[in-house]
Structure 1
């Protein structure tokens, strides 16, 4: 066994229970590369699945180290607080959620980080840290935590669900810092997280408790103030003064204690004072502090939460030159790190002058210097930033400075919208400022136009950044800020984003809201389009809905749309599509089925033609989708496949908007299905791979890789199925194990592959997954019969396979039309021949007529005919036909059935594929 160094790294991380996406991020390689390494390890270590592979990961020498805590690296030493550390550490051992509460500047964050770092070894999956300072909306708490944990959004669920799924089986400590401004959001997020993650503990810091029943509050006290050697406040002051270049004589401890007492033992205030000791001296500090403290006592601006910190900051602020004071308060509008150039725009001064001022503020510990792709960056600690905002308001500069900040944000957003490179990092760097500026502007009627622009830009940028939950929210916010004429387009885009998220009910609601906005603005044709699209989507995407729409509701939408259309070409095309979709839902197994299907096809063709005339590729794609479905109901597999491919070609020139992306994702899935249905396995894999690699689906492998798994399984690419199955199952479990019938075929394909390998335990496990995904007749009568029959035939159980395929295709037509019809009738014919059924010849003849033109199903039927005639000499040529069609498994099976020397070659290929030996070829029929 020769395991490479990279494979060894992957094996270690599999043993640590990391997902493929997490391993890829850790090793800076692609998910696809990780999948390849996992597949190679499965083969080399001869283990059946990822769980067994994790057990083969080597144990580290000595005691197993815990994962390194994901915590900010402290820049200064932590001083004192021995009793507080012990108390807080004990609390997080015995409580699931602990909140460290105290006023700003008391030292909640440093204490919590110290306790978390020392407790990291007690958590098998380590410690995670999320700073909530930049979060301005309680609804975005989950976004901040997801970023800290390294997760992206997944269509079909919100980010809270994503985080809960990622941490569901983890033993970890999550530190949520600075919660006071988003208490409601933190409380809701924490409650949902702890309910779903039984071995996760949350340690929060906040100026106020969360006020939830499961919370254990720990009040962080000020630093101890006694003058003896046990005073933590004195020790901190002495240590920080020495670091600033002014070591103090121990004899001055009493004077230091007096200063610390006047600062109420607040850690931030003590640190700020000690930092000035090198220039002011201890006596100067004592003198400078007298006025601010008197000013804060009983004044109208006194605030118990800020009293001590404000005292220290007022003192520090008093030492600044007037220009630096102005700069400090003006840059306090930034919630994320900013550059000197950005500060100059917002402060309204020359960049050189501003750069000098920022350097002076950083030297006085009022700004933190940070690394920034755009140059040297600066950041104000939150308490200092809030202090600056108060000063900004007192100076009557809040509106003008905020306005400049809004304009700066709009310029950044416009630049990101047209950027070709580096825009993702650029967006991440300014996203929190964009959100903050929008929050401020949205509350002011005079800034409504700018707020609308910001909301629209944020909607577009977050969609491209794959933050589609926020994108939908921002499109809706933009619509609320816009007039009715501009609101309708925003609501249409919001509806499309909801479709990408698998939120059919939202999609329907927003499309109808767009119709209302269009009607109010006088755009009756636009309203007609929206109503018709809402009706059409209810038919096309019914699987995305939670609420089942009554048929009469859809009919009413179509009727109203027809009334409002007024001869407009786009509206008439949309109405025609809705009518075709509605007719398609009425097609059933009752009398007159053929007539109903043909009428529906005619309606769909008319919808396609009307849409084509409008020149709108998305409208035409939607109509082609409905036509594809109508053709599939008619059993015209090749016409349906051709129509599906037309959609892909059409969408290649479509705009990269939410609506275009929604259509493309659906079209790629349909094209992959089409390839499977007509036996074009290379084409199916090509479209399926494009779908699997779509960035919007990067974190939802169960949805992204489904059709690729099916195509690989039917082709006999066992290694790809095993690798893809691991990703599929991992993503499905992280998604909360949703039950969706569209996920049934991939699970059935993996179960079949394990059955072909002879691994019945793994096959049963996947069959159990299949049962949870889909218990519809499509499983029992359609694709399920196909995937069950293949291993039965492989293992020589032809009679059982024939029984599994017993229903006539006409009896189960709803479940085998479209992609499974050819596979069903071909395998049924082969099972009849191998089982010695008296009607085998009739079944072969009937199957030939159905599958004509399908290279895989056709070869299966011809193989059955050759076996029926005892013409084994024809089989090698059929094996070559299977090879040409990209179906190695059926090629090897054909050679085994041919017998003789061919059988040896076929058996060797099966071994190379990783499959179990096939049952011996049956004796030729007598006579």
Structure 2
């Protein structure tokens, strides 16, 4: 009999999850519930694995799962850096550290610089990787100088991007919430204040994650178990390490050397770095030369504040290596110690104030004081952290710190300004970012620091690091000498906050900008910022945790009006606030309003005209946004679509920046809804794909896929929707299962899809999601009514469908005019015809006045009228809608009805009810 386990076929990670649960003899429904996927998806994975394994049935797959479990099928390969040299010895230390890691969730390997903490941690992580099936990741914090950037470093190692609406620390905890994984955090000592709170949050919210940290000091977190890394045994591991590294350097050791090597290692206190540095010089100096060098008191520190015990042995080797350098090379080592990241010879020359430093860099590399690597942009150099700190101390002792830091800041400014967002700039930014951050952290030149903070704010925004961008905008504002410039930076920070869906931050920043401008006597700018704060609280009310009151918004507008004077920009901002907050046909999210739709439309048109007179495209875009609301409430869906297209056309050619991105992304999301509102299903899908492709929304693709679901269900093209629905749920789960009624239409569309497919497991799953994201009572007259009536009509419950759509559009206009009117009206007319309601013809005729110019809606009304009159139904009107074409055939009855029923089955839907007999 063939051994089916001899070769394990390649299966995906999700198939592996399903296979493991098959081994537990779970049903498809139980597997789907455990993995948060639909039963159909489970069935698909099972079918795929039956083919791959050549298995006859589920029982055979369960047998395979058991065999693989017994064989210890490996999990994901650990994401650890490959060591450049062999690991020597430390068997006892490896066993002890591994044992602690099995028993405790957070272990810190503590010891002085150069003792070998990093190599030991990497070795233990590699050896214990099988115990962490969801992955092992290494995070090097050596270049992280800002305590606020710890989460960013971890997120980068995990391959996570920033998600609007949450910080990177939250993104990390969401990603690892249910993972059985190991994180190795290296070089924690310089950012202890950032590591400690990050780990407290991580370990509290991720119960199966373990952390192995290396640091020169304890992290002082509740879960911590400390392991003191000892020096190498002089007689065993230290000698083996020395011999290995000396052989690599060209020395041919023999047995007679052993005792002298033991003595050298003992005098170096068994410090791994010191031994490696000494061994690297052995081939040139011999053991006698090494012994003499270590005996020279000039190569040993005499003590003092910078010579505590934990540094003394490493400094012995470094002092000795430093003493062998030429004076020019010593100066170069001091200068390049300022770099926290790999650097080029050109960068080193700029910092050292020299024109040619290649020979000096080569000399430092030969002395093992610099690591040389080949990079795409040329040769790069890097100082190990202990050596970099040693050079920094020498720099300070030489009185050169201020001058070198000034040159480093100037170099960083130049590098930042050269980073134009073209070509491979993202790679170059990632290579330079830590250097820019470090320079900004220690900058004492306020004007230069302001320039660098401002440039870093621009670069991080373009790179998609919007959380840091907001921070840098605020930092640049605090450093700005000109209050007007500071206020402008705070305005940009507010725009970034909106992009992050942080309405409270936006409101705070705009008020700070207004107060700053007002205190500086710039009343026009203050008026703009006060008015914008009120307007944005109305426009982006869904992004607030603590929404301002309507009275507060009106008070801001009143203050803006007092300060505006005759400044066109200020007057335009006030006009926009009046249209958006005071003249709101519904009453805004800030509170109720008493005016009519006509008054709101007139106010919005005045705001657009005022904004256009300023020549400011951003002000005009904001005013056009308010106009779309008024046009929507007026029931003019085509005007809404045209106005939104004006916004997109206005913003598209402008240079990238926070305000432009805010306005463009807002317009693009609305363009999806507007296209649906006029029956342009293909346009809605295209706009959704454009939104989904934007880097700012890469991590929250559910915001676009939700509307793709809406377009697919309304447009009658169900075939691609299950896969789109899975994408929606995957993105939504990865984002921490956010709530918010803005998600309601997409989730309702997904729920309707699976009701029409008869997938009860998926129906329960999507129902749970809808309950979680929430809906408003008013939604019962808009998308909820439309989707529920669609299902009722499909299953033959015609009178229930009509009851669901009973309210006249004029009665519920507030809830159907935006997007839903052109779907509500024809569906209501068809429900009336199928239910045999006496008002059916009135509904049809009245509906034509609403949807004139919408070919899809008009086709539904034509079909309803043909049904009412007993005429032949126009199936060709739905060539782009497979479902509506099939539905038309079923409603036609007879042979066409049979063909339509077959088409409905091909679409994967439950049978559709035929029309009632007349």
TM over 0.5: yes
Deviation readout 1:83-126 (Å, 9 max, x if unpaired): 11111111111211111111111111111000000111111112
1:41 aligned partner: none
SS at match of 1:296: coil
* Cα distance in 2 between the residues matched to 1:776 and 1:607: 30
CA distance in 2, matches of 1:562, 1:326: 62
Tell me, yes or no, if the aligned pair for 1:698 and 1:704 is still in contact at 8 Å. Answer: no
Of 359, 367, 374 in structure 2, the residue corresponding to residue 371 of structure 1 is 374
Corresponding residue number in structure 1 for 2:882? 888
Query: Mapping of 1:413-812 within 5 angstroms?
Result: 413-417=416-420, 420-441=422-443, 444=444, 447-483=445-481, 484-585=483-584, 587=586, 596-812=596-812
Q: What is the CA–CA distance in structure 2 between the aligned matches of 1:205 and 1:285, rounded to whole Å?
A: 30
CA contact (8 A) 2:585 2:594 kept: no
Q: Partner of 2:891 in structure 1? A: 897
Provide the C-alpha distance between the structure 1 equivalents of 2:712 and 2:500, rounded to a whole number of angstroms. Answer: 26
Name the counterpart of 1:49: 41
Task: Measure how far apart 1:905 and its partner are.
Answer: 4.2
CA deviation digits over 1:725-764, x for unaligned, max 9?
1221111111111111111111111111122222222122
Distance 1:325 1:54, change over 3 A: farther
SS at match of 2:596: helix
Following superposition, the deviation at residue 238 of structure 1 comes to: 2.0
CA 1:98 to 1:743, structure 2 compared with 1: closer, same or farther past 3 Å?
A: same
Compared with structure 1, are the counterparts of its residues 648 and 415 closer, same or farther at alpha carbon in structure 2 (3 Å cutoff)? same
- Contact 2:335/2:395 (<8 A) preserved: yes
8 Å Cα contact 2:129/2:136 also seen in 1: yes
Residues 614-673 of structure 1: CA distance to partner in whole angstroms, max 9, x if unpaired?
Answer: 111111111111111122223332322222222222222333211000001110111111
1:115 — aligned with what? 124
C-alpha displacement at 1:783, in angstroms? 0.9
Shift of 1:593: 9.2
1:272 touches 1:312 (CA, 8 Å); kept in 2? yes
Residues of 2 paired with 1:94 and 1:405: CA distance? Answer: 46
CA contact (8 A) 2:349 2:355 kept: yes
> What is the match of residue 73 of structure 1?
82
CA contact (8 A) 1:263 1:312 kept: yes
Contact 1:855 1:882 in 2 (8 A): no
Q: Give matches, 1:781-860, under 5 Å.
A: 781-860=781-860
**Would the aligned equivalents of 2:453 and 2:476 in 1 still touch at CA under 8 Å?**
yes
Give the C-alpha shift of residue 819 in structure 1. Answer: 0.9
- 1:152 aligned to which of 147, 154, 161: 161
Inter-partner Cα distance in structure 1 for 2:902 and 2:267: 86
Q: 1:400: Cα distance to partner?
A: 1.4
Moved more, 373-382 or 792-801: 792-801
- Residue 345 (structure 1) shift: 1.3
Q: CA deviation at 1:80?
A: 1.3
Question: How much has 1:789 moved relative to structure 2?
Answer: 1.6
- In structure 1, what is the Cα distance between the partners aligned to 2:868 and 2:200? 66
Equivalence for 1:285: 290
User: Does the aligned pair in 2 maintain the 1:604–1:630 contact within 8 Å?
Assistant: yes
Cα distance, 1:261 vs structure 2? 1.5
SS in 2 for 1:789: helix
RMSD: 2.3
Partner of 2:310, secondary structure, is coil
Query: Helix, strand or coil for the counterpart of 2:253?
Result: coil
2:331 to 319, 326, 329: 326
CA deviation string 1:154-208 (max 9, x = no partner): 1110001111122222211111100001112111111212222221111111111
TM-score (norm 2): 0.91
The structure-2 alpha-carbon separation of the partners of 1:273 and 1:52, relative to structure 1 and needing over 3 Å to count, comes to same
Q: Is the 8 A contact 2:781 2:815 kept in 1?
A: yes
For residues 467 and 890 of structure 1, do their structure 2 counterparts lie closer, same or farther at Cα, with a shift above 3 Å needed? same
* Distance of 1:403 and 1:9 partners within structure 2: 59
Deviates more, 1:381-390 or 1:771-780: 771-780
Give the Å deviation of 1:294. Answer: 7.6
In the TM superposition, residue 52 of structure 1 has moved relative to its aligned partner by: 5.7
Instruction: Select which of 260, 265, 271 maps to 1:255.
Output: 260
Describe the SS at the equivalent of 2:198: helix
Cα distance per residue 1:493-551 (max 9 Å; x no partner): 11111010000011111111111222233321111111111110011110011112011
Q: 3-state SS of the aligned residue for 1:369? A: strand
Give CA deviations for 1:189-229 in whole Å, capped at 9, x if unaligned: 1121222222111111111111111111111111123x3xx
Instruction: Pick one of 220, 223, 234 that aligns with 1:214.
Output: 223
Cα distance per residue 1:850-895 (max 9 Å; x no partner): 3333222222222222212222x1x1x2x32222xx4332122112
Supply the distance in 2 between the matched residues of 1:346 and 1:911 (Cα, whole angstroms). 72
The answer as to whether partners of 2:585 and 2:597 remain within 8 angstroms in 1 is no
Partner residue, 1:185: 194
Determine if contact 1:618/1:660 at 8 Å carries over to the other structure. Answer: yes
State whether structure 2 residue 351 is matched by structure 1 residue 346. yes
2:466/2:496 contact within 8 Å kept: yes
Assess if the C-alpha contact under 8 Å between 2:277 and 2:317 holds in 1. Answer: yes
1:653 aligns to what SS in structure 2?
coil
1:403 matched to 2:406? The reply is yes
Aligned length: 872
SS at match of 1:403: helix
Tell me, in whole angstroms, the C-alpha distance in 2 between the residues paired with 1:383 and 1:400.
22
Deviations 1:465-511 (A, max 9, x none): 00000011011100011021221111111111101000001111111
Contact 1:479–1:486 (8 Å) recurs in 2: yes
Query: 1:773: how far off?
Result: 0.8
CA contact (8 A) 1:492 1:511 kept: yes
User: Is the CA contact (8 Å cut-off) linking 2:335 and 2:351 kept in structure 1?
Assistant: yes
In 2, the alpha carbon distance for the partners of 1:312 and 1:424 equals 39
Stretch of structure 1 that moved more, 170-179 or 648-657:
648-657
Q: CA deviation at 1:912?
A: 4.2
Aligned with 1:376: secondary structure? strand
Say whether the 8 Å CA contact 1:778–1:784 is kept in structure 2: no
For residue 61 of structure 2, what is the aligned residue in structure 1? none
Contact 2:109 2:229 in 1 (8 A): yes
How far did 1:55 drift?
8.8
Q: Does 1:84 align with 2:80?
A: no
Shift of 1:319: 1.3
Mapped to 1, the partners of 2:9 and 2:298 lie a distance apart of 58
How has the CA–CA distance of structure 1 residues 693 and 294 changed in structure 2, closer, same or farther, with 3 Å as cutoff?
Answer: closer
CA contact (8 A) 2:139 2:153 kept: yes
Quote the Cα distance in structure 2 between the aligned partners of 1:697 and 1:10: 32
Contact 1:714 1:887 in 2 (8 A): no
Give the match's secondary structure for 1:211.
coil
Aligned match of 1:385: 388
Runs of at least 5 residues in structure 2 that lack an aligned partner in the other structure: 1-7, 19-36, 53-63
Instruction: Describe the SS at the equivalent of 1:416.
Output: coil
Q: Which moved more, 1:244-253 or 1:725-734?
A: 244-253
How many Å separate the matches in 1 of 2:195 and 2:682? 49
In structure 2, relative to structure 1, the CA distance for the partners of 1:343 and 1:120 (3 Å cut) is same
Alpha carbons 1:907, 1:917 under 8 Å: kept: yes
Provide the secondary structure at the position in 2 that maps to 1:49: helix
